[in-house]
Structure 1
Amino acid sequence: MKTLTLAATAILLTAGFASAQTVRIGTEGAYPPYNMINDAGEVDGYERELGDELCKRAELDCTWVKNDWDSIIPNLVSGNYDAIMAGMAINEERQKVIQFTQNYVPPQASAYAAMSADADVEGGVVAAQTGTIQASHVAETGATLVEFATPDETLAAVRNGEADAVFADKEYLVPHVEESNGELVWIGEDIALDEGIGVGLRQSDTELKDKFDAAIASMKEDGSLNEMIGKWFGEGAPLFE
């Protein structure tokens, strides 16, 4: 992976937008540990901490906007906010509509979880969140796809018998499987579907992309991005080399 030198990064971080430009960041607030709403009613999680640090380094004055997942890209395009940080994987289909910064999470595995090790993920009913790369993958298999607006609803569908299994980002599923005391089990091998997770931006906002790219690159170079990933995702989480 090519990375900017510290000198080049510094130039990009101080060029372009006027100091403290206001940027509105849209997030779902329902996908821990990436993003969530805390007891104070505020956006929290890995992406909140990361986004605030990126904005600080890029000299941007950022505010956070909560938006439902199924309309998060249309509302970016229509101008309701300026960027998306919502655990959104970079893939070819989305890049036809919006652009992404370089990734701030390495490519992640997707995985199936179920109540039984015998669950049929190829010909049974599989739950996935609407509009995700996991839902698109299930639709291309022999399984029957049932979609839900939030990731929590996909897990609930498995527990209440509406679905045989759930297919989702593995990092999201890990705490649920580990804390289920054996109720939930992994099915099959992990599956790679994406190029990592990045900040989503309108196609025309190239200058803003440069600012975020420079800030992400600086965090990769000084090791602070890996430290933040370890804090929120725990030991064993994929890190940047």
Structure 2
Amino acid sequence: MKKLVLSTALLALSAGAAFADTVRMGTEGAYPPYNFIDDNGEVAGFEREVGDALCTIAELTCEWVTNEWDTIIPNLLSGNYDAIIAGMSITDERDEVIDFTTDYYPPTASAYVVMSEGVDLSSGVIAAQASTIQASHIATTGATLVEFSTLDDTIAAVKNGEVDAVFADKDALAPFVAEQGFMFEGENVLLGGGIGIGLRESDTELKAKFDAAIDAMKADGSLNTLLVKYFGEDVITY
């Protein structure tokens, strides 16, 4: 889902040499269909179902915690929760600060969406969610990057004419194209190494439990079932 953070190397305090009996699952709650808050005020979406299944397989008691995206890694390191499951792409830069499980979502495409055809993506004004791999990518192009706190804010910026396009995970943008009159523009861009659960580097036992549970869901097909449920028949599966 996404994302690059990291002025947080200074926070690499070991906030947990061992995980507690209850594992706190940290997510954003603002990146549908990966994660969002439903009408009952509960965390829902693809990652809620995946996370709950992983906790059952690993025989862990888990509870869900929401946190804004731009502080999601610092607050993991400071001990506010024990795992990040929030559409976070596995990157070398992040891996210097935290650890990752094996991926539970394969490497996938990022894409541009616009309100009208003919946008010059190479030199236009492009919105991306702050601290994401998409924002980092735009910063290396000739386009002007404008960062926003949430995906919804980037979409609003295009609607309001503040920017020419949004660059984000294609799967996250697809509902806006299907339902709100946006259109994809240009070529897909492959970024990151898939999406994994972020953990403190000290939590090796918890990582092993989640890795084994993810492998089990890949082997029995249940992870593919959830991928198709939330992202459609064309989604890349294991």
TM-score (structure 2 length as normaliser): 0.91
Task: Name the larger-Rg structure.
Answer: 1
Query: Which residue does the alignment assign to 1:4?
Result: none
Query: Which residue does the alignment assign to 2:221?
Result: 223
Query: Which residue does the alignment assign to 2:123?
Result: 123
CA-CA distance at 1:156 after TM superposition: 0.6
Whether the 8 Å CA contact 1:21–1:59 is kept in 2: the answer is no
Whether the 8 Å CA contact 1:34–1:47 is kept in 2: the answer is yes
State the secondary structure of the residue aligned to 1:147.
Answer: strand
CA-CA distance at 1:186 after TM superposition: 1.1
Query: Which residue does the alignment assign to 1:112?
Result: 112
TM-score (structure 1 length as normaliser): 0.90
Aligned residues: CA RMSD: 1.3
CA-CA distance at 1:110 after TM superposition: 0.1
Write out per-residue CA displacement over residues 102-154 of structure 1, whole angstroms, 9 at most, x where no aligned residue: 00000010000111221111111000000100000001111111000000000
Where structure 1 has 5 or more consecutive residues not aligned to the other structure, the ranges are 1-16
CA distance in 1, matches of 2:234, 2:157: 28
Write out per-residue CA displacement over residues 87-109 of structure 1, whole angstroms, 9 at most, x where no aligned residue: 10111111111111000000010
Query: Which residue does the alignment assign to 2:75?
Result: 75
CA distance in 1, matches of 2:124, 2:188: 18
Write out per-residue CA displacement over residues 163-214 of structure 1, whole angstroms, 9 at most, x where no aligned residue: 000000000001110112xx31111110000111000001111111000000
CA-CA distance at 1:68 after TM superposition: 0.2
CA distance in 1, matches of 2:56, 2:65: 18
Query: Which residue does the alignment assign to 2:184?
Result: 186
CA distance in 1, matches of 2:193, 2:22: 28
State the secondary structure of the residue aligned to 1:212.
Answer: helix
Query: Which residue does the alignment assign to 1:157?
Result: 157
CA distance in 2, matches of 1:32, 1:141: 27
CA-CA distance at 1:233 after TM superposition: 1.0
Moved segments of 4+, more than 2 Å: none
CA distance in 1, matches of 2:46, 2:115: 28
Q: Write the mapping of 1:42-81 to structure 2, written as runs, cut at 5 A.
A: 42-81=42-81
CA distance in 1, matches of 2:192, 2:155: 22
Equivalent position amino acid for 2:137 in 1: H
